[in-house]
Structure 1
Amino acid sequence: MKTSRFSDSQIMAILKQAKSGMPVPELCRENGMSSPSFYKWRAKFGGMDTSMIKRMKELEDKNRRLKKMYAEERLKAELRKEALKGKW
């Protein structure tokens, strides 16, 4: 997955600036980002603080690893099932 060029604290600072009344187009131009990125961040991180964002990213990474482990185990189970049926 593509990583952001902005850190969690930078994202939070940008969202706080917008909340304080700075116009979004000006904010995006100042920080060198697109408006869709800003709105995506606002939808995803709207009511969070930096520690909550960090925790959410940790959980997403853990979830990604668990899904990968599950897919690998399912593949192994399917291979065992085919081998027992004598398809090899």
Structure 2
Amino acid sequence: MARRRHTPEQIIHQLCEGEKLIGEKFSIEEVCKHLEISEASWHRWQAQYGSMKSDDAKRLKELERENARLKKMVAEQALDIDMLKEVNRGNF
């Protein structure tokens, strides 16, 4: 079976669908089979996205992208500072 990646929005949708099925007295095994995921994925998703709504997942993705951009800027500034210190010492 080929691995596939699900977006956070898809995961949240599947969790909601799974919760409805569990509410209808289906077992977790049956729910996972219906959603075509493993039980490990179900539990991992439940822990990570259990209380999120779709808007929360989108906001989380935005914040992660912003965080990565800021980390890159800090790393570039640190390299610039190191380069300027090296030039200031005359070791170029």
TM over 0.5: yes
- Backbone CA RMSD of aligned residues: 2.0
Which residue of 1 is the match for residue 13 of structure 2? 13
The percent identity for this pair of structures is 35
TM-score by length of 1: 0.76
The yes-or-no answer on 1:33 pairing with 2:37 is yes
Once residues 24 and 71 of structure 1 are traced to their aligned partners in structure 2, the CA distance between those partners, rounded to angstroms, is 45
Q: Partner letter of residue 77 of structure 2?
A: E
Q: Which moved more, 1:65-74 or 1:37-46?
A: 37-46
> Per chain length, whose mean CA-contact separation is higher, i.e. which structure has more relative contact order (CA < 8 Å, sep 6+)?
2
User: CA 1:68 to 1:35, structure 2 compared with 1: closer, same or farther past 3 Å?
Assistant: farther
Structure 1 unaligned segments of length 5 or more: list them: none
* Structure with bigger gyration radius: 2
Structure 2 unaligned segments of length 5 or more: list them: none
Q: Partner letter of residue 81 of structure 2?
A: A
Q: How many residues align?
A: 85
User: CA 1:32 to 1:19, structure 2 compared with 1: closer, same or farther past 3 Å?
Assistant: closer
